[in-house]
Amino acid sequence: MKKPLWRRVKWRDLASCENFLRGCEKYCVSACSRFCSRARGDRFWAFSGGGGESRALLFCHHRILFPVFAAPLSRDIPAPDFLGRFILLNPLHAIQGLPSVTEIFEEALNGLGYEKTDQFDYDLMGLDREPDPESLRAGPAGLALVKPGMGDLEEMLPLQADYDREEVLPRGSEFKAENSRLGLSGIIGREQVLAAKIGGKIVGKINTNAESFTRFQIGGVYVRPGYRGLGIARRMTAALSSSLLAQGKAVTLFVKKNNPAARSVYRKVGFESICDYRICYY
Residue 86 to residue 42: CA distance in whole angstroms? 13
The verdict on 61 and 137 lying in the same domain is no
pTM score over 0.85? yes
**Residue where a domain terminates, one of 73, 90, 115:** 115
pLDDT at 14: 83
Q: How many independent structural domains does the chain possess?
A: 2
- Residues 179 and 68 both lie in one domain: no
Q: Which domain holds residue 36?
A: 5-115
Task: Provide the CATH number for the domain around residue 99.
Answer: 3.40.630
Asked whether 183 and 157 are in contact (CB, 8 A), the reply is no
Q: Residue 281 domain-assigned?
A: no
Please indicate, yes or no, whether residues 82 and 132 belong to a single structural domain of this protein: no
Q: What does the pLDDT read at residue 71?
A: 67
Return d(Cα 84, Cα 67) in angstroms, integer: 15
Residues 202-258: tens digit of each pLDDT? 999 999 999 999 999 999 999 999 999 999 999 999 999 999 999 999 999 999 999
Residues of the chain falling short of pLDDT 70: 1-3, 50-52, 71-75
